[in-house]
Amino acid sequence: MPGRVAPLLVAEASGVRLKLADGRELVDGMSSWWAAVHGYRHPVLDAALAEQAGRMSHVMFGGLTHEPAITLAKTLVDLTPEGLEHVFLCDSGSVSVEVAVKMCLQYQRSRGLPEKRRLLTWRGGYHGDTFTPMSVCDPDGGMHSLWRGVLPEQVFVPEPPAGFDAPVDQSYVDTLAAALAEHAHELAAVIVEPVVQGAGGMRFHHPGYLRALRELTREHDVLLVFDEIATGFGRTGRMFAAEHAGVTPDVLCLGKALTGGYLTMAAALCTPEIAAGIARGDLPVLAHGPTFMGNPLASAVANASLGLLAEGRWRADVARIEAGLRRGLEPAWDLPHVRDVRVLGAIGVLQLDHEVDLGVATDIVTAEGAWLRPFRDLVYAMPPYVTDDADLAVITGAMLAAAEKA
């Protein structure tokens, strides 16, 4: 269980290595919760941060604006799927989900439909730790079940059938259709993690379900929100997981890798229609104004990180990591306690037939020279894109060792 294992003291981090105070070095298979896609102390990101710190660390983003945030907003509009043209910069992934939901609710109110205020999602999801995101996290699994009865009640459907390559199951699409038909009158939006459900269980599903959701939400006059906080910026092999399906949501949440994992910043993007709807409402602005909104340091690092991604090397890197994870994890099929081995982009997962003891697993993976954070029955890695083949072999070796002994 989280919290029961003493944390390791990290003195420095550079490239893909965490340097512990006791002198040990670990290859980071976690990218600091999936954010540090370029690794640590990247010279381009370090320089962007230092340069911005020399100009202005922060100014309020109400009534004032600045070039790093303007550039970032423009770049995000260009980079994200066609049709998302308005950007709200906020502090963390959870807050971007809060903002996304406010966008949807304010839009529905502005249309004279305040009763459309609930959310529909599929089970097995994870959207963050503040109250609205918790209300759409998996209701039965994980730490948020503590809050059952306190959270707003949302509409849940079963999670999509497992498997990125598994054929689309029409009976599941029918389930989605029936739920939307039943609840459309009270739904502001459907919110899902596209293609990969992350912290709720590291499950992959076929992009066809996203296309089905896009059609059904249009048909039933419900907005569609994609939470790409974990999947965005190349992690699944596409810049955004929505691209696997070729669909544009009405609202898109981004975070984590936005700043290359350097600083806390996230974003919610929406269509002109939603922005125009909000502008016509009783309160003609989005009702959200956090102190550190649009922070210049985070914006400058985000611009530098997006600049690195624009160079395009990430595509070959993620493809190479995908191949390395497949190769390195193949022997896991022969391990007695392994139920499933799945890889997509720079994500590798071993699913076991039992819950892992986190303390035992941590000792095993660190003895192998890697840093991983198994949870429940999952041993997984989401390494930085700059991880080379030798370091990747350390990570997959540690995963196999944990699957065998933890």
Shortest Å, Cβ 133 to ligand PMP: 6
- Which of residues 26 and 199 has its CB atom nearest to ligand PMP in the complex? 199
290 assigned to a ligand binding site: yes
Order of all β-strands in the sheet with 25-28: 10-14, 17-20, 25-28, 370-371
Asked whether 386 and 39 are in contact (CB, 8 A), the reply is yes
**Residue 121 annotated in ligand binding:** no
The answer to whether the annotation marks 227 as part of a ligand binding site is yes
* Other beta carbons less than 10 A from residue 320's beta carbon: 16
Q: How far apart are CA 255 and CA 185, in angstroms?
A: 31
| Residue 111 annotated in ligand binding | no
The verdict on whether residue 135 carries a ligand-binding annotation is: no
Shortest Å, Cβ 148 to ligand PMP: 19
Q: What's the DSSP call for residue 223?
A: E
Q: Minimum distance from CB of 380 to ligand PMP (Å)?
A: 13
Residue number with CB closer to ligand PMP (382 or 400): 382
294 annotated to bind ligand: no
- Measured CA to CA in angstroms, residue 97 lies from 110, 225, 254, 400 at distances of 20, 9, 9, 35
Read off the tokens for 227.
């939470």
Given the complex with ligand PMP, which of 128 and 294 has the nearer CB atom?
Answer: 128
Nearest Cα neighbor of 89 from 231, 302, 272 is 302
Q: Which residues contact 320 (CB under 8 A, 6 or more apart)?
A: 389
Residues 187, 168: contact at Cβ < 8 Å? no
Nearest to 380, CA basis, from 320, 333, 321, 325: 325
Nearer to ligand PMP, 187 or 230 (CB): 230
345 in a known ligand binding site: no
Shortest spacing between CB 256 and ligand PMP, in angstroms? 6
Identify which of residues 127 and 183 has a Cβ nearer to ligand PMP in the complex: 127
Q: Copy the structure tokens of residue 109.
A: 């109110």
Of 230 and 403, the one with the shorter C-beta distance to ligand PMP is 230
The tokens describing 287, both together, are 């009702």
Question: Which residue in the shown chain puts its C-beta closest to ligand PMP?
Answer: 93
Q: How far is the CB of 197 from ligand PMP (least distance, A)?
A: 8
Q: Give the integer Cα–Cα distance in Å for 121 and 225.
A: 10
Nearer to ligand PMP, 33 or 79 (CB): 33
Q: Is 33 annotated as a binding residue?
A: yes
User: Which helix (H) or strand (E) covers residue 253, if one does?
Assistant: strand 251-254
Annotated ligand binding at 373? The verdict is yes
Q: How far is the CB of 228 from ligand PMP (least distance, A)?
A: 8
Q: How far is the CB of 230 from ligand PMP (least distance, A)?
A: 4
Instruction: Answer for the pair 345, 236: CB distance below 8 angstroms, yes or no.
Output: yes
Residues that bind ligand PMP (CB under 6 A): 92-94, 97, 126-128, 193, 198-199, 227, 229-230, 255
Residues comprising the binding site for pyridoxal 5'-phosphate?
Answer: 93-94, 227, 290-291
Residues comprising the binding site?
Answer: 33, 93-94, 126, 227, 256, 289-291, 373
Residues comprising the binding site for substrate?
Answer: 33, 126, 256, 289, 373
